[in-house]
Chains A and B, each alone.
Chain A
Amino acid sequence: MKEKFEAIVIGAGHAGCEAALALARKGHKTLLLTISLDAVAFLACNPSIGGTAKGQLVSEIDALGGEMGKIADKTAIQIRMLNRGRGPAVQSLRAQADKEKYHLEMKKVVENTKNLFLKQAEVVSIEIKGEEKIVRTAVGGEFLAKVVVFATGVYLDSRIIIGSFTENVGPNGFKNAKQLSSSLLNLGYKLLRFKTGTPARINRRSINFNNLEEQKGEEDIQTFSFMTKKKIANKASCYLTYTNLQTHQIILENLDKAPAISGEIKGIGPRYCPSIETKIVRFADKDRHQLFLEPESLSTSEMYIQGFSTSMPAEIQEKMIHSLAGLENAEIMRDAYAIEYDCIDPMQLQPSLESKLHKGLFFAGQINGTSGYEEAAAQGLIAGINAALYLENKDMLILSRSDAYIGVLIDDIVTKGTNEPYRMMTSRAEYRLSLRQDNADLRLTEIGRKVGLVDDKRYKQFLNKKQKLKDIFSLLNQKLKNNQKLIDFFEKNNEKPPKNSISVKEAIKRSNIDAFKINDEFETFKDFDYEIINEMNLIVKYEGYLKQQEEDIQKLKKFESQTIPEDFPYQKQKGLKIETIQKLSEVKPINLGQASRVSGVSPADIAVLGVLIKKYKDEVNAKKRTN
């Protein structure tokens, strides 16, 4: 008998869990299929969440009502703020997550969510019958739903490689999905073959920590989720070590055995995540490379060697590891491996993450050619929301590049595609100054509320924060009286004292003074907590630049408001170059903003397109009127 659901999510990794939770929380009966229940929300590579740009993604997911931030806070065993010495936009949280606990906590949430059904099964094919999609599993199960979200991660026809040894399995030896790729090909999808890798894990007790630099967490700092009230306790440290000339020698002598270099691996690997052998070949002048030893979990002794991923044969790996300071006697528990897998060309997707080819099919995570837990979860959340909106017959949620990193991520992959696993970086976000981790809630909570994933508690807290900000801003025109105390304060901070009284705002703008110093001296903001003072301080300090950015954003919004009808006949247009027509009809941008980012489309093309679209719309309207 065919069991019927409203939605089916294939894959229960970081994308699949967010997608399924969003669907179920919005009231849709959802089936979440996973190839192994032991692989739910599995941190297959490093045991860490966040980092530059990724920390922002996690807070954005949280503000929209996603799950990742909460679980990351709950399972973090160390937390730090990166780029502390730099500007506010590039500051990001990075946590060491307890790998075992992360998987269990997310699984627990999924298991206990109403409308959500988690089941272990290998999906072998999808059939589309009108509105209905039939999902078939390897053991003969058949499930029906109106929408399907593909979140298969790196499991599609995957194969791991260790030297000359290869095996057709998924990450960490989990079963892979052997037949689903051909089902996707049959449905008309173009597939890409990508590659990534993970380093070895070693036993903690075998490390000689004497000469290794310890990297501790920071106490009493922010959390990923705006709802987490308890500060994260640092329970574990990371350690630094370096490769040396001996390590390089071993690698160079055995290059012929490295499958990535010998050509055994055909998949395209990410440039930002090169194997150690690639680093040594490409950057031959460097005599050492930095490595981090990261704890995998409090309940295991496994340590992850960040920076040392390789696909060398196991025996060479051992030699390489033993050449490292502190790891001379390391016990290797898991070998490093490279993994190749199928994914789709993301240009086949709309900005909603719905497929252009078939209605009701959504794609999220590594199957879209991205990399990273955070990138996957972000897409999963959006795909889940939009799958739900599809069921509800409502407009899709499309975040702009000026709204969120999530918007940048999705726009990048669907507009430009990617020729390597795509990783989020702050440099990809042109409105970075406005897309900070600290204001993710201010940017997105309202949107999450409208979508229906922000509960009353979160919404109330958000409104409260907004009110507090309003209150604190109303204090800024207050004058600080020009008395000895003020003069002393300015002089103490190496600032020229003002001639007359000075407003609080002007004082904050001085480069050696900030809102916290003023509060310490004059108690101006004593009724406000750190979060609010910090937010206000940033906005005042960066006022001029934020305003400049706001102007750019307005320009973008103007373009984005000029929508392009889905059936706009590019082929019939005169005045556009043939190659422009080809590119635009492939991408099918939803508005002029997206069109302007299609590679090879010039500003003049956009000006022309603007005229042609208005003409087309006016003609359609005129026709409607006469009918």
Chain B
Amino acid sequence: MNKTIVAISTPLGKGAISIVRMSGKDALKIALKFFSCANKIEPRKMLLGNFDLGQVKEKCMMAYFKAPHSFTGEDIVEFQLHGGVAVTRMLQEKLLQGGAVLAQPGEFSKRAFENGKISLDEAESIVDEINSESEGEVKSVLSASSGKLFEKIKALQESLTELLAQIEVSMDYPEEDEYEDVRETVFQKLKECKKQLQEILQNAEQARFIKNGIKIALVGKANVGKSSLLNALVGENKAIVTSTEGTTRDVVEASLDYNGIRMNFYDTAGIRESQNEIEKIGIEKSKKMLDEADLVLIVYDGSEKLNKNDENIKKIIKKPFISVINKQDKKRSIEKQENEICVSALSKQNIEQLKEKIFQTIIKKKIDFNGVVVTNERQLQHLKNASSQVDNIFKEKDQSLEILSMLIKKVWNELGKITGETENEDIISMIFSKFCVGK
């Protein structure tokens, strides 16, 4: 009966390895939707294979523990991977898409206890675990309350409550003539809610940027000046700059603070077919980097016309990007590019403008730095769920009011998982305070 749960079991961003753990009867089924390996799946065996993340496959280890011989007493699947925060998140996201649900605080231990895997003496430690984990969440909500995000979600819940009251009053008081036609108002208000939700999500994304910074990948064919551009941006000789093709093999990270936002730059090896083994690894890494990046700077040599390599690179970019036309100091021969900015890495021309453009592209509007709040994984997930649930309602436009009400309540409940309000007792109060009903 228990749903299959998933969680990232290691602290994000700390430690070299992250572990994502899944428990429940569908654990293996969900895992194998994405994981493939040459060996036969056997319990209690570490298997090396590939996890399909969509655009890339991530090499990782998988271990399967068959019920009841596992920590929770249920089927467990664990993934160990080397990836950073983004890859770990993506892996978890995939498992959620595959049918798992996010684990509640302390839920793995709780299940272990329920299945008799943890002795009575340890029950108290589980209680502590549940309490401390949920307190952690409460704290992040509380810190949120100092900002705008939490308030915004609350406000959104309130307008949903208002909407629900309006629907409910028309159904519970069908004889009150003036509350008859609510459908139009409902969708109008839902549109507003959708807009607010999008704003909150954007805000949450931005909040994530504040916490973790923006990941910016520099790509471009070899020798267009990526490394020099990086150096110009961060003002130190971090990347090795030579004019021999293929000197940048490692993905180099350099950071700067701009308007309070941490911009993390990743230089990539020039992507081209390569025979050199070491360089090939570098190129694989570059491709993965592109997947993780929030923004891509495609660097062109402005003094040359586009060639096939440039075109190939353009094709693989699926993320928001800026076309950086380098070598502004030379005569321009390149065709006009989408979302372009001309710079010179060598003479540091337009570098500040580039930073501002990056900022504008990602942080679409001005951030209220006192207001935006860091959201944790779970909150982000609930927001995303709520957003897709609202989209769903628009697909069910013709349904009867009670169905619409049911769907809107779902959204409310999803948001309630963030604000901690689990039961909506306000609908009925609102009915009586806003509407004149009754005999």
Tell me the A residues contacting B by CB distance below 8 Å: 46, 52-53, 82-83, 86-87, 89-90, 199, 270-274, 279, 282-283, 286, 289-290, 292, 306-307, 309, 425-428, 430, 432-433, 511, 542, 545, 548-549, 554, 558, 574-575, 596-597, 599, 602-604, 607-608, 610-612, 614-615, 618-619
Asked if A283 contacts B436 (CB within 8 A), the reply is: yes
Inter-chain contacts of A425 with B (CB < 8 A): 168, 172, 428, 431
B306 to chain A, nearest CB (A): 47
Inter-chain contacts of A52 with B (CB < 8 A): 171-174
Asked if B173 contacts A611 (CB within 8 A), the reply is: no
B25 to chain A, nearest CB (A): 15
Q: A89-B402, A603-B104, A619-B120 are in contact. Are A82 and B130 (CB under 8 A)?
A: no
Asked if A614 contacts B174 (CB within 8 A), the reply is: no
Asked if A608 contacts B174 (CB within 8 A), the reply is: no
Q: A86-B401, A611-B110, A614-B114 are in contact. Are A427 and B438 (CB under 8 A)?
A: no
A283 to chain B, nearest CB (A): 4
CA distance in complex: A433, B406 (Å): 9
Supply 11 further A-B pairs (C-beta < 8 A) apart from A87-B400, A309-B439: A52-B171, A86-B171, A270-B438, A272-B432, A286-B436, A574-B124, A575-B130, A575-B131, A602-B420, A603-B104, A607-B130
Most B CB contacts (10 A, CB to CB) among A90, A292, A545, A607 go to: A607
How many residues of chain B get a CB closer than 8 Å to chain A's CBs? Answer: 48
CA distance in complex: A424, B175 (Å): 16
- B102-135 to A contact mask, C-beta < 8 Å, 1/0: 0011110010011000001001101110110010
Q: A273-B439, A554-B1, A597-B423 are in contact. Are A618 and B120 (CB under 8 A)?
A: yes
B219 to chain A, nearest CB (A): 45
A30 to chain B, nearest CB (A): 34
Inter-chain contacts of B423 with A (CB < 8 A): 597
Instruction: Check: B56 CB closer than 8 A to any chain A CB.
Output: no
CA distance in complex: A307, B400 (Å): 28
Inter-chain contacts of B406 with A (CB < 8 A): 432-433, 545, 548-549
Inter-chain contacts of B130 with A (CB < 8 A): 575, 604, 607-608, 611
Instruction: Check: B271 CB closer than 8 A to any chain A CB.
Output: no
Asked if A427 contacts B124 (CB within 8 A), the reply is: no
Asked if A46 contacts B106 (CB within 8 A), the reply is: no
Q: A608-B127, A619-B120 are in contact. Are A427 and B134 (CB under 8 A)?
A: no
Instruction: Check: B281 CB closer than 8 A to any chain A CB.
Output: no
Q: Who on chain B is nearest to A548 by CB?
A: B406
B358 to chain A, nearest CB (A): 41
A467 to chain B, nearest CB (A): 29
Q: A272-B438, A607-B104, A612-B123 are in contact. Are A558 and B401 (CB under 8 A)?
A: no
Inter-chain contacts of B338 with A (CB < 8 A): none
Inter-chain contacts of B405 with A (CB < 8 A): 427
Asked if B398 contacts A511 (CB within 8 A), the reply is: yes
Inter-chain contacts of A542 with B (CB < 8 A): 403
Give residues 15-53 of B contacting A (CB, 8 Å).
none
Asked if B436 contacts A282 (CB within 8 A), the reply is: yes
Inter-chain contacts of A309 with B (CB < 8 A): 439
Asked if B402 contacts A87 (CB within 8 A), the reply is: yes
Asked if A427 contacts B171 (CB within 8 A), the reply is: yes
Inter-chain contacts of B425 with A (CB < 8 A): 599
Q: A306-B439, A607-B106, A612-B127 are in contact. Are A602 and B402 (CB under 8 A)?
A: no
Asked if B1 contacts A558 (CB within 8 A), the reply is: yes
Give residues 386-421 of B contacting A (CB, 8 Å).
398-403, 405-406, 409, 420
A612 to chain B, nearest CB (A): 7
Instruction: Check: B427 CB closer than 8 A to any chain A CB.
Output: yes
- B196-215 to A contact mask, C-beta < 8 Å, 1/0: 00000000000000000000
A512 to chain B, nearest CB (A): 10
CA distance in complex: A425, B425 (Å): 13
- B126-162 to A contact mask, C-beta < 8 Å, 1/0: 1110110010000000000000000000000000000
Instruction: Check: B437 CB closer than 8 A to any chain A CB.
Output: yes
CA distance in complex: A597, B422 (Å): 9
Asked if A426 contacts B171 (CB within 8 A), the reply is: yes
B217 to chain A, nearest CB (A): 40
Q: A428-B428, A603-B104 are in contact. Are A273 and B177 (CB under 8 A)?
A: no
Inter-chain contacts of A286 with B (CB < 8 A): 436
Inter-chain contacts of B329 with A (CB < 8 A): none
CA distance in complex: A289, B164 (Å): 23
Sample (11) of A-B pairs whose CB atoms are under 8 Å apart: A52-B174, A82-B174, A83-B174, A86-B174, A427-B164, A427-B171, A545-B406, A549-B406, A575-B131, A603-B422, A611-B123
Q: A558-B1, A610-B110 are in contact. Are A426 and B172 (CB under 8 A)?
A: yes
Instruction: Check: B176 CB closer than 8 A to any chain A CB.
Output: yes
A255 to chain B, nearest CB (A): 17
CA distance in complex: A512, B126 (Å): 54
A274, A611, A618: the one within 8 Å of B126 (CB): A611
Asked if A427 contacts B176 (CB within 8 A), the reply is: no
CA distance in complex: A216, B208 (Å): 62
Asked if B177 contacts A290 (CB within 8 A), the reply is: yes
- B75-119 to A contact mask, C-beta < 8 Å, 1/0: 000000000000000000000000000001111001001100000
Inter-chain contacts of A289 with B (CB < 8 A): 436
Q: Who on chain B is nearest to A279 by CB?
A: B436
Asked if B127 contacts A575 (CB within 8 A), the reply is: yes
Asked if B431 contacts A427 (CB within 8 A), the reply is: yes
Ranked nearest first, the 3 interchain pairs of A and B with the lowest CB-CB distance are A87-B400, A575-B127, A604-B134
Q: A86-B401, A271-B432, A611-B123 are in contact. Are A46 and B131 (CB under 8 A)?
A: no
Q: Who on chain B is nearest to A270 by CB?
A: B438
Inter-chain contacts of A619 with B (CB < 8 A): 120
Asked if B104 contacts A611 (CB within 8 A), the reply is: no
CA distance in complex: A603, B416 (Å): 11
Asked if B402 contacts A607 (CB within 8 A), the reply is: no
Inter-chain contacts of B134 with A (CB < 8 A): 602-604, 607
Inter-chain contacts of A86 with B (CB < 8 A): 171, 174, 400-402
CA distance in complex: A619, B123 (Å): 12
Asked if A427 contacts B428 (CB within 8 A), the reply is: yes
CA distance in complex: A615, B438 (Å): 49
Inter-chain contacts of A548 with B (CB < 8 A): 406
CA distance in complex: A549, B423 (Å): 16
CA distance in complex: A558, B174 (Å): 35
B321 to chain A, nearest CB (A): 40
CA distance in complex: A612, B122 (Å): 11
Q: Who on chain A is nearest to B168 by CB?
A: A427
Inter-chain contacts of B401 with A (CB < 8 A): 86-87, 90
CA distance in complex: A615, B126 (Å): 11
B385 to chain A, nearest CB (A): 14
B50 to chain A, nearest CB (A): 33
CA distance in complex: A427, B423 (Å): 13
A87, A279, A554, A612: the one within 8 Å of B403 (CB): A87
CA distance in complex: A87, B170 (Å): 12
Most B CB contacts (10 A, CB to CB) among A83, A199, A306 go to: A83
Inter-chain contacts of A608 with B (CB < 8 A): 127, 130-131
Inter-chain contacts of B127 with A (CB < 8 A): 574-575, 608, 611-612
CA distance in complex: A548, B402 (Å): 14
Q: A53-B172, A608-B130 are in contact. Are A602 and B427 (CB under 8 A)?
A: no
Most A CB contacts (10 A, CB to CB) among B124, B172, B428 go to: B172
B430 to chain A, nearest CB (A): 10
CA distance in complex: A558, B436 (Å): 39
Q: Who on chain A is nearest to B164 by CB?
A: A427
CA distance in complex: A273, B438 (Å): 5
CA distance in complex: A247, B105 (Å): 59
CA distance in complex: A290, B172 (Å): 16
Asked if A604 contacts B105 (CB within 8 A), the reply is: yes
Inter-chain contacts of B123 with A (CB < 8 A): 611-612, 614-615
Q: Who on chain A is nearest to B121 by CB?
A: A615
Q: Who on chain A is nearest to B1 by CB?
A: A558
CA distance in complex: A451, B172 (Å): 32
Inter-chain contacts of B398 with A (CB < 8 A): 511
CA distance in complex: A549, B176 (Å): 29
